[in-house]
Structure 1
Amino acid sequence: MGDHDIYQREGTEQLLKVETIYVHDAYSRSVDRVGDIGLIKLRQPARDTKWVQPACLLTNDEERFQPGHVCATTGWGRTNPDVDDIEDVLRQAEVPVLDHNMCQNNYWPMYNVFDSMVCAGGMGSNSCKGDSGGPLVCRKNNRYYLVGITSWGDTRCKPNIPGVYTRLQSYITWMANIMNQDQCND
């Protein structure tokens, strides 16, 4: 955690050991990507620093960020769709949340965009191959909310096609059950 340049030690990194990984039961590598979420239990907690900070979760569907709200996605994914290499330095893209139907229209009939997904981007910047698993974070009232996890999108990484993210709100109960179950086992 806290890494910026994957090939340089900057002193901001926290190397933490993983105790357990929980993968959602519905997950498969199929095209629909339903259940594209996992939780990682660390052996020790991360330290809050300038480079590593927690984000809030939205707990109910009524709190969704509306289309047009500008959020941020980060990752080391490709910036050039014709090159397979990932980036050395963490990149951030500002991406607007999109209307669900508008997003579905970009991918139909090849792919389905389910309600358990949120779309963002398609307006000049986007997530790309190699960014999967990274955050979609939105700011509201001086707080950052982890809204999505980079899941999939157009394989050519075109900036005018939106990225599709796992909507965390759809998995709040699953996450709570895992955390409660795990606490009972400790």
Structure 2
Amino acid sequence: MANPIRAHRCLSDFKLIGVRVGELDIDATTACAKLDNCSDEIQDLRVEEAIPHPEHRGRPNVRDDIALLRLRKPVNLSQRNTDAVCLPVSRRQQNLDLGRQVATLAGWGSTEQGSTSSILRTVAIPIHTVENCRQLYNRDRKPSEEDETINKLCAGQKGMGSCEGDSGGPLVLRDPAGHFVQYGVDSYGPTLCGADFPTAYTDVTKYIKWILDTIRP
């Protein structure tokens, strides 16, 4: 592969004890230090159970790179700085042709200048067609080796994409009703931020049955 690939981090690398909801600037003393008309309330919630996909495996051939977190108490969605992202559970959403759609990525990863960002950043990036994704990620593979893009999406273009520190971040599209729907989970990609090579995202539509079978009220 022409571009060095940044390593992804998964739940097997560390013990996750909690999550923070409502954060914007990780260096600020309040959630709204740089925003008007928002709530300063940040929610720190304990993780009751971390549930990686049972078939997950890491590099060199990353597979089923997705996990669920069961929290000890529900997230308070009434705060102005907190909202839910939908899952693509309908047949229309799961059959949507994502190729050439423009999606939004969010994260605190490194910037194109190589520095880290304390403020949550977003960028609009194109999703590649299945054929283009397969060609890019399999071009150096032998015919006997398995397809690198099984249950994955490719997204990004030169100058725009995910960077070190964005792994696990969401790739979302806005549906006709105005809701954000998560179609991808940042898995791995080029070490060089903004390289002319897309990031690989776990395709959430391929895991809806596992998600619905695993979650509980």
TM-score, normalised by the number of residues in structure 1: 0.86
Mapped pair 1:115 → 2:150: yes
Where do residues 35-54 of structure 1 align in structure 2 (5 Å cutoff)?
Answer: 35-48=64-77, 49-54=79-84
Q: Aligned residues, how many?
A: 179
Q: Cα distance, 1:89 vs. partner? A: 1.1
- Aligned residue number for residue 17 of structure 1: 46
1:29 aligns with 2:55: no
Matched residue, 2:23: 3
Report the secondary structure of 1:16's partner residue.
strand
Segments of 5+ residues of structure 2 without an aligned counterpart are 1-20, 32-39, 142-146
User: After superposition, what is the alpha-carbon deviation per residue over 1:61-93, rounded to whole angstroms, capped at 9, x for unaligned?
Assistant: 753343221110011111147x4x532111111
The answer (yes or no) to whether the contact 1:21–1:38 under 8 Å persists in 2 is yes
What's the counterpart of residue 10 of structure 2? none
2:210 aligned with 1:174? yes
Identity of aligned residues (%): 29
Structure number with larger C-alpha Rg? 2
TM-score w.r.t. structure 2 length?
A: 0.75
Residues 1:31 and 1:86: Cα distance change in structure 2 (over 3 Å): farther
Query: What does 1:20-169 correspond to in 2, within 5 Å?
Result: 20-48=49-77, 49-59=79-89, 60=91, 62-80=94-112, 83=114, 86-110=116-140, 112-141=147-176, 142-169=178-205
Ranges in structure 1 where 5+ consecutive residues have no aligned partner:
none
Give the match's secondary structure for 1:15. strand
Return the alpha-carbon distance in structure 2 between the equivalents of residues 114 and 108 of structure 1: 8
Q: Secondary structure at the match of 1:147?
A: strand
